[in-house]
Structure 1
Amino acid sequence: MVSGKEVLVGPALFLLALISYSEGIIGGREAAPHSRPYMASIQVPEGDEMKHECGGFVIADQWVMTAVHCMPNGPNGRKVVLGAHSLSEPEETKQTFDILELHNHPGFSIENYNNDIALIKLDRPFIASEAVKPVVFLRTGGTNPDTDEDVETAGWGSLDNLESRPDKLKEVVVKVIRSTRCARSDYFGMKFTNNMMCAHKQCSDPCDQPHKVEDSCDGDSGGPLLYNGIAVGITSNGGKKCGQVKKPGIYTIISHYTEWIDSTMGLQPAATAPRAAE
């Protein structure tokens, strides 16, 4: 005989899995329109409409970088929108693309989100403008941010744990947390690997934000983490709730994947690695 408690376990675990599926912005502010021209909105069909699901960022003429867990089972009708600030308003700057190819890293682990990096090849090259431009990403040999360094991320993800979504792009500055802390059992334990960095920002009193912790949240997955204007991470995963002190946002370290990126995009290895300014 199945007990009442056992009946509730399955739905509860399923709900937790949905809550932790992706990441978004807690705190922060609205970005200046088109000040981050590399940002991409990955949208999924919902009835006759398209709904923002994950972020991404332009890294080359026809390529967008994102997270595997955004599309683990393929594109399935999703589209990529570049040049957006408002998701709902008509903007002449917007360019919409089908996904020609999706390359999920073969080493991705759904258990701990290790190797959470994916590349999208758009169905055609984008038209470069002030609203659509690629961002430089850190390559092998480049300088990743150290503990307590300021880094920034952006997205159209949730404003809170009730999944309230913004219409316009938001951005936030957070601080890198020491890796040994994020690997502690009261943080992420064995889930945290050397392919990840974690970051958030704790507001000190008096705090000008309604949240004590500024963080990424549901819907920002796949977006960039930037250090001095260079993409060094991909928003990956965090806690079951956003803005928790011991469950900061987790970001995939891009510089660990230079060889895979070059091979996937058919590029020759670069002679020198772009370095984040110190």
Structure 2
Amino acid sequence: MVSEKEAFVAAAVVVFALISQAEGIIGGREVVPHSRPYMASIQIPGETMKHECGGFVIADQWVMTAVHCMPTGPNGRKVVLGVHSLSEPEDTKQTFDISELHNHPDFNPSNYDNDIALIKLDRPFNSSEAVKTVEYLRAGGTNPDKGAEVETAGWGSIDNLGFRPDKLKEVVIGVVSSLRCKRSDYFGRKFTVNMICAQKVCNDPCDQPYNVEDSCDGDSGGPLLYNGIAVGITSNGGKKCGQIKKPGIYTVISHYTEWIDNTMGQQTAESDEST
């Protein structure tokens, strides 16, 4: 006869085994260290600095992320570049204060429309093999269509229990039709023209305990890449990750070219005037 305590321990072991099989994000795998040198970890202070959101470097002093990562301001957060392992010491890491945070003025917290923000670091980064910018799609460029393979990366949860990886993960997913994501059983009216949705539904068993590969909590603010160019920002896909009818949602970067140019250009001009 199995005791209640033994049953509980056995169940815990099963849960741990399922978590351990997951390789990152929801599905995916660990990246080759520093093979995505544009990735940024936005960290919140406490007893130790803790990863909260992602971001990506687009200029020598600028990081792009999502508004919902810092809706009320930086509040002591720091940006760390050159990261692979969040916990291990790495000579490649560069840590920055947030000099300025520019959240898009039309961000809608009810559906995360216009979920794009720009961070100005307190100083330019030192370019290296571990820290570089990534190109982002501008107005007039071609966004990926239904079925196109896209990539995303982050240090976000690898399951709905909130288990976070220590090392950067990546996943290849596919763009889902906008018409499908507008359906009432998906996102309905919350899904706007400023959004792309994407996920990978595994026809065969995936290499982890889910049948969907997806971004998740903590990946927010990271890039969605198409042919090596950032086309989206990880935004929101629902309360749970890896659900077939709740693909990850990504903000379409090319819709904000004028705002990006005005924000970065204005700040650069002001800096030049003050010197």
Tell me, in whole angstroms, the C-alpha distance in 2 between the residues paired with 1:56 and 1:77.
16
CA contact (8 A) 2:27 2:207 kept: no
Q: Residue 27 in 1 paired to residue 59 in 2?
A: no
Tell me, in whole angstroms, the C-alpha distance in 2 between the residues paired with 1:127 and 1:115.
30
Counterpart in the other structure of 1:163: 162
Counterpart in the other structure of 2:246: 247
Counterpart in the other structure of 1:36: 36
Counterpart in the other structure of 1:120: 119
Give the AA of the match of 1:112: N
Give the AA of the match of 2:39: M
Q: CA deviation at 1:161?
A: 0.2
Tell me, in whole angstroms, the C-alpha distance in 1 between the residues paired with 2:133 and 2:231.
14
CA contact (8 A) 2:205 2:211 kept: no
Q: CA deviation at 1:210?
A: 2.4
Q: Residue 266 in 1 paired to residue 257 in 2?
A: no
1:1-278 matched pairs, under 5 angstroms: 25-46=25-46, 48-266=47-265
Q: CA deviation at 1:69?
A: 0.2
- Identity between Structure 1 and Structure 2 (%): 81
Listed one character per residue, the Cα deviations across residues 24-82 of structure 1 (whole Å, up to 9, x for unaligned) are 82000000000000000000012x31100000000001000000000000000000000
**TM-score between both structures, scaled by the size of structure 1:** 0.86
Counterpart in the other structure of 2:16: none
Secondary structure of residue in 1 paired with 2:45:
strand
**TM-score between both structures, scaled by the size of structure 2:** 0.87
Counterpart in the other structure of 1:6: none
Aligned residue pairs, count: 244
Tell me, in whole angstroms, the C-alpha distance in 1 between the residues paired with 2:210 and 2:165.
16
Higher RCO structure (Cα 8 Å, ≥6 apart): 1
Counterpart in the other structure of 1:8: none
CA RMSD of aligned residues (A): 1.2
Tell me, in whole angstroms, the C-alpha distance in 1 between the residues paired with 2:204 and 2:194.
33
Give the AA of the match of 2:45: P
Larger Rg: 2
Tell me, in whole angstroms, the C-alpha distance in 2 between the residues paired with 1:168 and 1:208.
18
Tell me, in whole angstroms, the C-alpha distance in 1 between the residues paired with 2:118 and 2:170.
23
Tell me, in whole angstroms, the C-alpha distance in 1 between the residues paired with 2:204 and 2:233.
30
Tell me, in whole angstroms, the C-alpha distance in 2 between the residues paired with 1:211 and 1:59.
33
Q: CA deviation at 1:208?
A: 3.0
Q: Could you list the runs of 5+ residues in structure 1 that have no partner in the other structure?
A: 1-23, 268-278
Secondary structure of residue in 2 paired with 1:266:
helix
Moved over 2 A (4+): 206-210
Give the AA of the match of 2:137: L
CA contact (8 A) 1:42 1:56 kept: yes
Q: Could you list the runs of 5+ residues in structure 2 that have no partner in the other structure?
A: 1-23, 267-275
Q: CA deviation at 1:206?
A: 4.0
Listed one character per residue, the Cα deviations across residues 168-221 of structure 1 (whole Å, up to 9, x for unaligned) are 000000000000100000000010000000000001124333210000001000
Secondary structure of residue in 1 paired with 2:235:
strand
